[in-house]
Amino acid sequence: MSTRINKFLSEVGYCSRRRADRLIEEGKVTINGKIPEMGSKVDDCDQVEVEGQRIEKSTKQKNIYLAFNKPVGIVCTTNRRLEPYNIIDFIKYPKRIFPVGRLDKLSEGLIFLTNDGDIVNKILRARNNHEKEYIVSVNRPINKDFIQTMSNGVEILETKTKNCLVKQLGPKKFRIVLTQGLNRQIRRMCEALGYRVQSLKRVRIMNIKLDVPTGKYRKFTKKELLELNELLKNSSKTFS
């Protein structure tokens, strides 16, 4: 049975489909020694390589799901040559995994790592309205107008952010729950209102809460995984 190359790379746990498409575009993937087109399919008899490394398809890996508390200064990338402080080298997990989404270098907190490409695609679809919760501190006191404006949406990146839940926790601290993932969204929202983020910590993604020390990780519990799959049941995948 033929399988699209990006799906194949995600199913064997090499990377997400989104990452696979980037590798294909960059000419780093070959099928039987030839660079494929986007959407090309592979059969059981085909030889697939990424940057010269043979990708075996004979044994399907057991799915891995980790909740990691990313420290400030660690970059969420699998490119180990470009970033010496990358998440993969920091964790040193014995099997190939990749992060689900990103937290910028200056931010900390919860991020998932997995080898399950399908779950990555479902979580990353912004239109699925999956919640992500953050605790944020800014450089000067906030007020009711700040909370209301953040809640109702802020103009950034030539668009207005979706309505979201925002609650003040202290003179300069607030909690925010987003259902979209624009580039550096919270920092840009604050900057648009004349504030500068001093610390940003993600404490929840959907049903999974941050409960491990900084720099540590744990596996999802069976209950968490069941709940997560239920939440993702009707989610659209990024690719067919």
CATH code for residues 131-205: 3.30.70.1560
- 239 with 3: CB under 8 angstroms? no
Q: Which residues contact 9 (CB under 8 A, 6 or more apart)?
A: 15, 17, 20, 23, 29, 48, 50, 55, 117
What's the CA gap between 126 and 195, in Å, rounded?
26
**Range 65-115+213-231 classified under CATH 3.10.129.10:** no
Fold of 3-54: 3.10.290
Report, as an integer, the average pLDDT of 234-240.
51
Query: Residue 141: pLDDT above 90?
Result: yes
Q: Which residues contact 188 (CB under 8 A, 6 or more apart)?
A: 154, 156, 157, 182
Query: Residue 60: pLDDT above 80?
Result: no
Question: Does the active-site annotation cover 104?
Answer: yes
Q: Among residues 46, 104, 145, 211, which one is catalytic? A: 104
pLDDT band at 127 (very low <50, low <70, confident <90, very high): low
Question: Where are the extended beta strands (E) located within 55-131?
Answer: 65-70, 98-100, 108-114
What's the CA gap between 127 and 85, in Å, rounded?
31
Q: Where in the chain is the domain with CATH 3.30.70.580?
A: 65-115+213-231
